Amino acid sequence: MEGALMSNPAWRLVALTLVVAILFTLVSCAEKTANVADASKKPGDSSALQDAETASDYIAKLSGKNFGGETFTILCTHTEERPNMPFEEEVGDIFYDSAYRRDRIVEDLFNINIEYISDTDRGAVRTKVMNTVNAQEDAYDLLLTTTADGFNTLAPGGYLYDLRSVDSLLLDEDWWCQSMNEEMVVNGKQYVATGPACLAYLYSTFFVIFNINLASDRGISDESLYNAVIDGKWTIDMLASLIKGVYADLNNNGRADTEDFYGLDLDDSQGNALYAGAGLKTTQRNPDGIPELVIDSERSITVLDKFNSIFTTQDVIQTESLGNDPSGLSYKISLFKNRRSLFSLNRAAFVMSYLRDMEDDYGILPVPKYEESQKSYYTLFDPWMPSGIGLLKTVSDAEKVGIVTDAMAYLGYTTVQPNVLSLTLKEKIARDENSKKMLDIVYDNITVDLNTIFNFGETSIYLRQYAVGSTSNFISTYKKVAKAAQKALEKLMEQYDVIT
């Protein structure tokens, strides 16, 4: 009898609407627990309840879709610090459990079984896609992997499905990253999207973190830093002033090493984040909508030169080539964790994975503006996180895959992301209320850069290395590779032209 009832679309709609409403109630409770609810709102004005009503409408439109118990197979790159799939049961972790519940709702809604096939090696995932398409097999419904060293090869290679031709993917809605949509449409075609349908998307940002205890010892209050952000005054000049003169030779050996104390640590990839944080992109669209490289613009060079001058002082340590500390933890995060740096410009994935047991309190700030007049703070989308979303070219029913994927995106946006921001990040990592506000600023302004993904003529690498002070004379280096970079960009346009 129970099976018969649940096979009835009307009963399934009622049950699923109740489940989603309960999830939104849990989200609302989580927000109250985190003390971030707006006290001025009346109970009937609850955003969670409003979202639940919207969810009911969304689900109602899809309630008649029944895919007959088919398996929905997701091929993904997945590691502990770059997660893309939940566990097979609830484990008491709000991030994974909300993702687990999201998947169960989608399964019940469409009468499907979601199966993840994962690999820790993005190269292996890329090879599986190529082999599958070359063999004309319909083995995977959805692909989740990196945009750099992943989609940047698969898209121009003709291995993927044009997402803009899938009407059931509502890419212009809030549950999809609009910056990705704008940046990755080439010649009217788009082969990769991103957003909270992909769990790793929530790990694909950059933070500035600071040790609250050590900052206080130096007369820097966390409150003053948060206020600077809110007032629009958190700039690269302010960061430079705070790290100036901080270096200390703790082991008295007369040379800078990992046993000393620094004002800031960062690795090469942060150079791209700083550039994006300055409101810059490496390409811009001409009147015909074709991307053109603008890395050598006057504004770009001015910004890069300033970054280079700041990060080549003794107060800054570059961690790109340092490897791991004696415990096996990367110096990219262990210097900060072990009180060897006051500030760190770092990946969200490292912060979320390795600082939950840090003894000292720390705060989170967005990547600084270049100057106060800049309209917003911008956070670069990290192309090395496996948060690109796409369909293989050989998928047999793109509309079905689009329906399921869009539902995963919608529920990821409305039921998974709020839990991550209010608990996994805001309670376990951001240990004060102001840091929670900082996280909202970070996630509200994620920006995607075409060249950071495709790295035309290695120019993205040259840019980031120069920005953090690992190299010198960027403009002379760029001039040597400018023609090759332009040719690589033109080749991409040609490849997209011939894809059928």
Nearest partner of 325 among 308, 342, 343, 341, judged by Cα: 341
pLDDT attached to residue 271: 96
Token digits of residue 476: 């002379």
Q: For residue 31, what are the contacts with CB-CB under 8 A and spacing of at least 6?
A: 37, 48, 418, 422
pLDDT attached to residue 23: 53
Cβ(351)–Cβ(207) below 8 Å: yes
DSSP strands (E only) in 2-120: 70-77, 112-119
Token digits of residue 485: 């970079």
pLDDT attached to residue 17: 55
Return d(Cα 145, Cα 143) in angstroms, integer: 6
Return d(Cα 453, Cα 140) in angstroms, integer: 24
SS3 115: strand
Cβ(297)–Cβ(228) below 8 Å: no
Residue with tokens 């933890």: 329
SS3 290: coil
Return d(Cα 156, Cα 499) in angstroms, integer: 8
CA angle 309, 313, 314 (to 5 degrees): 175
pLDDT attached to residue 430: 58
pLDDT attached to residue 24: 52
Q: What's the predicted TM-score (pTM) here? A: 0.87
Nearest partner of 413 among 29, 42, 47, 99, judged by Cα: 99
CA angle 192, 198, 200 (to 5 degrees): 105
pLDDT attached to residue 478: 96
pLDDT attached to residue 422: 59
51: left (phi over 0), alpha (psi -120 to 50) or beta: alpha
Neighbours of 50 (CB within 10 A): 12
Return d(Cα 484, Cα 458) in angstroms, integer: 9
Mean pLDDT, 10 residues at a time, the chain of 500 residues: 44 52 50 38 39 65 85 96 90 87 92 96 97 97 97 96 96 95 91 95 93 96 95 98 96 93 94 97 92 95 97 94 86 93 94 85 94 96 96 97 96 84 58 77 93 96 96 93 96 89
How many residues are there in the chain?
A: 500
Residue with tokens 């995060």: 333
Q: How far is CA 429 from CA 87, 264, 334, 354, 365, in A?
A: 21, 20, 16, 10, 12
Q: For residue 486, what are the contacts with CB-CB under 8 A and spacing of at least 6?
A: 293, 456, 457
Return d(Cα 300, Cα 280) in angstroms, integer: 7
pLDDT attached to residue 1: 39
SS3 268: coil
Return d(Cα 146, Cα 130) in angstroms, integer: 15
